Structure 1
Amino acid sequence: MCSLVQKYNVAGPRYTSYPTVPYWNMDTFSSKKWQSTLIQSFEESNAKEGISLYIHLPFCESMCTFCGCHKRITQRHEVEEPYIRTVLKEWKLYCDLFSQRPIIKELHLGGGTPTFFTPQNLQNLINGIFSMAKKAEDYEFSFEGHPNNTTKEHLQALYDVGFRRVSFGVQDYNIKVQQAIHRIQPFANVKNVTQWARQIGYTSIGHDIIFGLPFQKEEHVRETILRTKELRPDRLAFYSYAHVPWLKGNGQRGYKDADLPSAEEKRQQYETGKALLAEVGYREIGMDHFALPTDALYKSMQSGELHRNFMGYTASKTQAMIGLGTSSISDSWYSFAQNVKGIEEYQHLVENNVIPVYRGHILTDEDRVIRKHILNLMCGFKTSWSLPGLRFEAIDEVRERLREMEQDALVVVVEDGVEVTEKGRPFIRNICMAFDVLLHKKEPEKRLFSMTI
């Protein structure tokens, strides 16, 4: 395994989309085209399956130095209400495009720190959304909670407006690691919010754990997993730290590359954690995710309904996903669009009745076919090009790129498709890269992605 780690540890995408953001074609994109494809997708799918909604709440009271997300560090809570007003107005701009009320199947609050906002303001936001929309019968609402500032009142307020799933960012319980990532978070806080959520009635509680953090050792990961087993969350995101210090606005310059575990150490951290989770019944879901057999994420994998988008893995698919708030990314299946990242610019555009996207990509027929293959691999570890609609011009080049991975026993390639082996699952990003024709047509001149391992 060590030699394979050295061989395949290269910079590569996480494939929450295809094409990946650095390969979006701005020459063919416009906000007008984006809106047109969204209207088309909405008309095709709203009544049948509903839509998904992601709302980005960008404020944090302090900087966590492992985080590469777009956020604003402030302790001024008077920013809450103006931001919510802008999000609701942006939502109205979208609703005005449609011929009927949107039916929301999935809604997720991300950040930033959603629990930066008061419980009442979060309720006001959700109630405002549904003053212009309906809930699907099988809706799923989720949010990201910070264990240090999520209160019983937060959990109850969001439960009362339909939320049944929450994920808490744990990262690691070792104090030296916590100091390095500027996230001092006692186990007692995580235990409190987990137990409160269960008492209130949340049906899916998740913990996010990261390996490969600065100063992190295998024993730290072991201790974190053992503490996590005490609380037995329904699902876990157990993923590799993405070291991207060149991105503007993150805090990853607070430690040196030498402070990070090597690729081999990271891989061992993952294998140790994975084995410990398996001992108590967690099942591996796609890439970097684990769930108990009772959780909807595992059930969706078993039924073949597991999906992956800009929100990560989801238990069901909608064709259209709208992102509200700064930096949010939307997906009509036919195109992607991203909002401006600056809060003041975002508020100015929406105030002037402009849908605040600044870049995006109109998918070609080939893009959509390759996207299906990557989704198949990410969600089911296999794909086939036997059907006419799943063949594309570069398939022979893809098969050639898979040849060496087959020799390394990471995949099995047959005449009409490919299946990832158990040995190959840790290298799923590399396997998806074999299908990424845009990446191979134009290798990036500068570092764009985190390392795959």
Structure 2
Amino acid sequence: MTDSLIAKYNVAGPRYTSYPTVPFWNTEAFNRHDWQQRLTTAFAESNYASGISLYIHLPYCESLCTFCGCNKRITRNHGVEQPYIDTLLAEWALYCEWLPERPRIAELHLGGGTPSFFSPGQLRRLLTGLFQWADPTENPDFGWEGHPNNMTQEHLQTLYDFGFRRVSFGVQDYDPTVQLAIHRHQPFANVQRVTEQARAIGYTSISHDLVFGLPFQRPESIRKTIAKTLTLRPDRISFYSYAYIPWIKGNGQRGYRDEDLPTGEAKRELYELGRDLLQAGGYTEIGMDHFALPHDPLYKATQSGRLHRNFMGYTTTRTDVLLGLGVSAISDVGTAFMQNEKDVDTYQHRVLMGELPIQRGHLLTHEDSRIRRMILDIMCQFKTSWAVDDWSDAEWDVLSQKLDEFCMDGLLDYDETSLWVRPEGRPFLRNICMTFDRQLTRAQRTERLFSQTV
């Protein structure tokens, strides 16, 4: 990849787990009544046919990883587990009491924070309480995230017994210098232990999370990390670009100097090296940031055109309703988004007062829905289409000029109604999506909102 392309396209931009992206939600037009009405409508139309998705945010961690951009609370006090689970179950009950029928759960994901911060007993209590109000669909997709250093075989067995077959382990990088910089001591032996335990129990999709662009990261650390990863043969691998956003996440992402980070061409070389090593190891690149072996459902969803992207990233399950429970969790009902309170104490107080802990939201317009579909197609299938009358003459003139630039750079092809991303253009998916992003165009600014695209 040429230096000129990297310099040209290395700008701040969204990762597009939603459209519109959260900074551009129209919160002034949002209200609880319309949100509940749109949720109820989407639920009634889809629950019986396809079920719903459920995301549960478990925010606690025992120590701070300075690369992390997630909503979390750092504590070694495990006395927080019981009241937080109580609040989650109370929030779930609020929904289930007014939904028109018993929910059917097609997809369930536990994220964090560190879900394995919670004891197996507390996780068992959470899931028992959830399924008092709901039933799984016939072939559900349940997954969760764990920290290899505090995960036990009992954790893995407990969730397996509730139908979980996917588990993701945070690795990031095995290099000691990188681990010290990001405050993430992650011995390979612990990752090997939990991977082998999960496989022996019967988990069918085991994922390892790796990150490129971390402080002090060099090609040799990428080589060694991926070499170790390939010995364990996880079914899928997330190979994320480090999102450096210290102006949003505060001092937690300033445990090192800016000059310690590989940027631009150096960062892109780390990605391309990792990609080549993974592909040589038998993995196929899926969408953006993900790789999978041919037997994994993520690969199969890509081949069949069923790959989907939402606030949980890439998924194989597409439902019309995604409910988010827990602090900062986001819900998506197709025509509306909603985010819970981002402060743990405020979240718990509002739920225990008997109200949904809504902090903000967005009601999608017809234009939003149309642009959202195109961006999802690009992110998942590397192509999209539209009707000729979707654009005014003036809009088409602006859009076609932008697309012409990508064409001249050899990144995509397009005609009056369709677009196809070339393999050379896949590293620039975020940039291509940005050309369709009406909210971004109108705002005319991205700095201090998003991480760099390269």
TM-score between both structures, scaled by the size of structure 2 = 0.98
Equivalence for 1:309:
310
Instruction: Measure, in 2, the Cα distance between the counterparts of 1:303 and 1:331.
Output: 24
Structure 2 counterpart of 1:144, one-letter code: E
Alignment-mate amino acid for residue 324 of structure 2? G
Could you tell me how far apart the structure 1 residues matched to 2:69 and 2:278 are?
27
CA contact (8 A) 2:192 2:232 kept: yes
How much is the aligned-residue C-alpha RMSD, in angstroms? 1.2
Counterparts of 1:31 and 1:254, CA distance in 2: 40
Using the size of structure 1 for normalisation, the TM-score is 0.98
Q: Distance in 2 between matches of 1:294 and 1:387?
A: 39
Quick check: 271-280 or 420-429, which moved more? 271-280
What is the match of residue 129 of structure 2? 128
* 1:313-392 matched pairs, under 5 angstroms: 313-386=314-387, 391-392=390-391
CA contact (8 A) 2:245 2:253 kept: yes
Q: How far apart in 1 are the matches of 2:391 and 2:327?
A: 35
Paired position in structure 2 for 1:436: 437
Unmatched runs of 5 consecutive residues or more in structure 1? none
Q: What residue number does 1:178 align with?
A: 179
Given that 1:9 and 1:452 are in contact with CA atoms closer than 8 Å, whether structure 2 keeps it comes out as: yes
Matched residue, 1:280? 281
Q: Deviations over 1:72-100 (max 9, x none)?
A: 10001010011001001101111122111
- Please give the per-residue CA displacement for 1:189-220, whole angstroms capped at 9, x wherever unaligned: 10000000000000000000000000100111
Q: CA deviation at 1:396?
A: 4.4
Give the match for residue 33 of structure 1: 34
- Comparing 440-449 with 73-82, greater Cα deviation is found at 440-449
Counterpart in 2 of 1:411? Answer: 412
The one-letter amino acid paired with 1:380 is Q
Shift of 1:352: 1.1
Query: Do 1:218 and 1:265's aligned partners in 2 also have CA atoms closer than 8 Å?
Result: no
Letter in 2 for 1:255: Y
Q: Per-residue deviation at 1:33?
A: 1.3
The match for 2:170 is 169
* Distance in 1 separating the partners of 2:388 and 2:191: 48
Task: Return the letter of the residue paired with 2:334.
Answer: W
When residues 25 and 308 of structure 1 are mapped into structure 2, their CA distance, relative to the original with a 3 A threshold, is: same
> Which letter maps to 2:208?
H
- 1:366 and 1:392 in contact (8 A); partners too: no
Q: How far is 1:402 from its partner?
A: 1.2
Does residue 93 in structure 1 map to residue 94 in structure 2? yes
Contact 1:212–1:241, Cα closer than 8 Å, also in 2: yes
CA contact (8 A) 1:71 1:111 kept: yes
Amino acid at match of 2:212: F
> How far is 1:386 from its partner?
3.6
Query: Partner residue of 1:270?
Result: 271
Residue in 1 that maps onto 2:218: 217
Equivalent residue number for residue 192 of structure 1: 193
2:155 matched residue in structure 1: 154
- DSSP 3-state at the match of 2:133: coil
Identity of counterpart residues, as a percentage? 59
1:141 matched to 2:124: no
Shift of the alpha carbon at 1:44? 1.2
> Offset at 1:403?
1.3
Give 1:412 shift: 0.4
Matching residue of 2:291: 290
Shift of 1:290: 0.3
Aligned residues: 451
Structure 1 residues 174 and 445: alpha-carbon distance in aligned structure 2, compared to 1, 3 A threshold: closer
**Displacement after TM superposition at 1:444 (Å):** 2.7
Whether the 8 Å contact between 2:141 and 2:317 is mirrored in structure 1 is: no
Could you tell which deviates more after superposition, 114-123 or 89-98? Answer: 89-98
CA distance in 2: counterparts of 1:399 and 1:88, whole angstroms: 50
TM-aligned CA deviation for residue 397 of structure 1:
2.9
Residues 329-355 of structure 1: CA distance to partner in whole angstroms, max 9, x if unpaired?
000010000000111111110111110
Decide whether the 8 Å contact of 2:388 with 2:416 is kept in 1.
no
Within 1, Cα distance between the matches of 2:221 and 2:7? 23
Give 1 or 2: higher helix fraction.
2
Measured after TM superposition, the shift of residue 300 of structure 1 is 0.5
Mapped to 1, the partners of 2:43 and 2:291 lie a distance apart of 32
8 Å contact from structure 1 (residues 329, 337) kept in 2: yes
Partner amino acid, structure 1, of 2:342: K
CA shift for structure 1 position 316: 1.8
Aligned-pair CA distance for 1:387: 7.9
In the other structure, the counterpart of 2:80 is 79
Aligned to 1:14: 15
Label 1:250 to 1:94 Cα distance change in 2 as closer, same or farther (>3 A): farther
**Aligned partner of 1:262: which letter?**
T
- In the alignment, is residue 117 of structure 1 matched against residue 106 of structure 2? no
**SS at the partner of 2:211?**
strand
